[in-house]
């Protein structure tokens, strides 16, 4: 992992256990969706570890005190459609007040080049920590394109969260956006000739939504 200073692999036992369950081909759509949501909540805990706090005055049932609350603007989660919405749900369970943006990208099946078809972000995205979510960081081209669009929109603090990635995808992200940290459950072996992660877990979007 020294070759990828932009990557953090979340090694928590619950994360690794649930990832192994996600990989199994016999897992039903409903179970897969539930597991993605659970893993996403745990990843959200990790990616928000360094959020700034400030002391504010509150009243407990017994007395007055200064207590820590999150400082500054709320987070912004940006989902790369459509599969990113599976991770978004778990993130919002933990941070329900976060703003949400969407980037619509699809990968051309012949060239593997990302094509944008939708972009909707909060107006003040430049003032927020932006956490981009997509289950798979495979070739890295879609993720890099999404982050580029976010920077063009003014975002300056960006992190990227995925379930799985590979060295190929991490290299692309590191070269395009060395300032963006990637949080993942695993760095898998490689991409195959179709751009799928091996051993991976299949097509995350199809498995979340029960499509082919």
What's the pLDDT band for 2 if we cut at 50, 70, 90?
A: low
Q: How far is 205 from 135, CA to CA, in rounded Å?
A: 8
pLDDT for 100 beyond 60 = yes
pLDDT for 126 beyond 80 = yes
Share of residues in the chain with pLDDT > 70 (%)? 98
211 a known binding residue?
no
13 a known binding residue?
no
Structural domains of the chain, with CATH: 7-50+73-209 (3.40.50.2020)
pLDDT for 1 beyond 60 = no
Alpha-helix runs per DSSP H in 48-166? 84-94, 141-152
49 a known binding residue?
no
CA nearest neighbour of 35 among 26, 187, 8, 96: 26
Q: How far is 176 from 178, CA to CA, in rounded Å?
A: 6
134 a known binding residue?
yes
204 a known binding residue?
yes
The pTM for the full model equals 0.92
107 a known binding residue?
yes
DSSP state, residue 201: -
186 a known binding residue?
no
pLDDT for 208 beyond 80 = yes
Q: How far is 24 from 21, CA to CA, in rounded Å?
A: 6
140 a known binding residue?
yes
Q: How far is 189 from 11, CA to CA, in rounded Å?
A: 17
197 a known binding residue?
yes
Average pLDDT over residues 140-146: 91
138 a known binding residue?
yes
Q: How far is 93 from 109, CA to CA, in rounded Å?
A: 34
Report CA torsion sign: 144, 149, 155, 161.
Answer: negative
pLDDT for 108 beyond 80 = no
pLDDT for 212 beyond 80 = no
179 a known binding residue?
no
SS3 at position 95: coil
DSSP state, residue 111: T
91 a known binding residue?
no
What's the pLDDT band for 112 if we cut at 50, 70, 90?
A: low
Q: 149-198 pLDDT, tens per residue?
A: 999 999 999 999 999 999 999 999 999 999 999 999 999 999 998 889 99
The per-residue pLDDT of the chain, averaged, comes to 93
């Amino acid at each position: 992992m020294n070759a990828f200073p932009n990557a953090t692999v979340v090694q928590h036992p619950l994360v690794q256990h649930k990832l192994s369950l996600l990989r199994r081909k016999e897992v039903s759509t409903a179970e897969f969706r539930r597991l993605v949501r659970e893993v996403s909540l745990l990843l959200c805990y990790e990616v928000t570890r360094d959020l700034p706090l400030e002391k504010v005055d509150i009243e407990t049932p017994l007395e007055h005190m200064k207590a820590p609350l999150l400082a500054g603007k709320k987070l912004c989660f940006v989902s790369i459609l459509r599969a990113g919405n599976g991770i978004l749900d778990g993130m919002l369970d933990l941070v329900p007040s976060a703003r949400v943006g969407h980037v619509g990208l699809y990968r051309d099946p012949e060239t593997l080049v990302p094509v944008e078809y939708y972009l909707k972000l909060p107006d003040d995205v430049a003032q927020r920590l932006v956490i981009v979510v997509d289950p798979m960081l495979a070739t890295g081209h879609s993720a890099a394109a999404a982050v580029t669009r976010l920077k063009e929109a003014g975002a300056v603090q960006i992190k990227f969260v995925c379930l799985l990635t590979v060295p190929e995808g991490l290299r692309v992200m590191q070269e395009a956006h060395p300032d963006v940290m990637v949080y993942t459950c695993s760095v898998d072996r490689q991409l195959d000739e179709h751009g799928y992660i091996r051993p991976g877990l299949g097509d995350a979007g199809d498995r979340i939504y029960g499509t082919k």
